[in-house]
Structure 1
Amino acid sequence: MAEQRVLMVRSLVLAYGFDSSFEKIKSVPPDLFAELCIHVIQHLQRHIPGVDVAELCQRFQTSGLEISVGELGKVVHAVHYLFSTAAKHSLSAEELSSILVEAKTALPKQILQVLHRVWTEQGESLSLSEDARKVAAGGQLLDFQWKLGMAVSSDTCRSLNYPYVAVALKVADCSGQVTTQCFEMTIPQFQNFFKQFKEMAAVLETV
């Protein structure tokens, strides 16, 4: 039975195409990679709402690692997939290491040791967690901020000095990555947006 689980997960890892992510993981120092792994585990345990990739990337860059937010996001996604799949199939640290070695990911020994250690220390409780077996299918809104502004210059708009609402949404996607989405709305658009939120709130009160 254990062999069947290992074969199943190995085929998923190979099919998922993590080559570029694994190549970038090789350049991450073991201590920073361990920090990233712990963040992912904490998200899967529902201890934190998500992994703030931008904040983590800034910390990595401060430590001297040349990596972009997009590249680090792929690494976080790969680790999230590995840990959530290992939890789903109740894999041991040895089985997880074996999969990565036999899938020819060519990860450095130090990185494999980090994965083995983190999974040994925290993976068992994750495997037993019901939440970990139900990987979130959608995102989660973490913060909503808005401010009123006035357009004073533009290359495309003929009429200026009009008010607008700038909105910043902080969200965690299904892989646990935290990003901030910013956009602007005209006053009529924001009023319609607010109206829809009131309608949603009214429906939720009836549930």
Structure 2
Amino acid sequence: MPGLDASHGDHIVGNIAALSHDLLADTCQHILNYLQGHVRGVDSSEISDSFQRAGVSLDHEALQNIIRFLLLTFRSAGKSNLSAEDVVLRLQEGSSKWPKASLQVVQRLWSEQGSLVHARQETQAMLSIGQLVDMQWKLGMAVSSDTCRSLNSPFVSLLLKIADPSGQIYQRSFEMTIPQFTNFHKQFKEMAAVLETV
């Protein structure tokens, strides 16, 4: 399913096949929780700890490859709105090394949670707005301005760095009078308070 060369994909599938059903289900659940927005990221150290407790010894790169493979698989399936049967079919097409029991784990989890992942991805696509990366400000004195009525009045100059959904960073700058900046600050505090309750 994810774009891997066959030998590398078979090696990753071989490592996944060595996991117990419970360990595979737990690893998949970590990833599905992230894709549904329940957690901010996939905690590979937590997954590594559960592997060690179960007696599975994989090096860091092998563990990261498993996580990336499953993440790409579920993310791709969510974007394409695939059924659980289609996910299993694509995995089987990608590698002949999949054991039936591992595919059953993936199929069960995707049939239970795939629609939630798809819904989250559609929502993110609709709400794909830029993310504020950095904000700088400085206080200045107006010598000439379109918004300040009188010269020699203080103003605040803001420079915002924003990452758009594609990952490209762009800058926007603007000036505000002190009352405008005070109102802007107040609105930012209100937004922060609301976001803390979410």
Q: TM-score band (shorter)?
A: 0.5 to 0.7
1:114 to 76, 81, 105: 105
2:74 to 83, 101, 112: 83
Cα distance change on mapping 1:126 and 1:198 into 2, 3 Å: closer
Report how far residue 93 of structure 1 moved. Answer: 0.3
Report how far residue 19 of structure 1 moved. Answer: 2.6
CA distance in 2, matches of 1:66, 1:21: 14
Give the 3-state SS of the residue equivalent to 2:38 in structure 1. Answer: coil
Q: Percent identity?
A: 29
* TM-score, scaled to structure 1: 0.57
> Structure 1 runs of 4+ off > 4 angstroms?
12-17, 131-134, 204-207
State the structure with more CA Rg. Answer: 2
Report how far residue 87 of structure 1 moved. Answer: 0.7
State the match for 1:203 in structure 2.
159
Give the alignment of 1:8-23 within 5 angstroms. 10=1, 13=3, 18-23=9-14
CA distance in 2, matches of 1:44, 1:18: 22
Cα distance change on mapping 1:22 and 1:126 into 2, 3 Å: same
CA distance in 1, matches of 2:137, 2:74: 35
Give the 3-state SS of the residue equivalent to 1:51 in structure 2. Answer: coil
Give the 3-state SS of the residue equivalent to 2:159 in structure 1. Answer: helix
Report how far residue 119 of structure 1 moved. Answer: 0.1
Report how far residue 120 of structure 1 moved. Answer: 0.4
CA distance in 2, matches of 1:63, 1:34: 13
Tell me if structure 1 keeps the 8 A contact 2:19–2:56. Answer: yes
Residues 35-44 or 197-206, more deviating: 197-206
Cα distance change on mapping 1:105 and 1:48 into 2, 3 Å: farther
Which one has more relative contact order, counting CA pairs under 8 Å at least 6 apart? 1
Report how far residue 198 of structure 1 moved. Answer: 7.4
State the match for 1:126 in structure 2.
117
Cα distance change on mapping 1:49 and 1:105 into 2, 3 Å: farther
- What's the C-alpha RMSD, in Å, of the aligned pairs? 3.0
Gaps of 5+ in 1: 1-9, 142-196
State the match for 1:179 in structure 2.
none
1:55-84 CA deviation, whole Å, 9 max, x = no partner? 210221121111122211110100000001
Give the 3-state SS of the residue equivalent to 1:199 in structure 2. Answer: strand
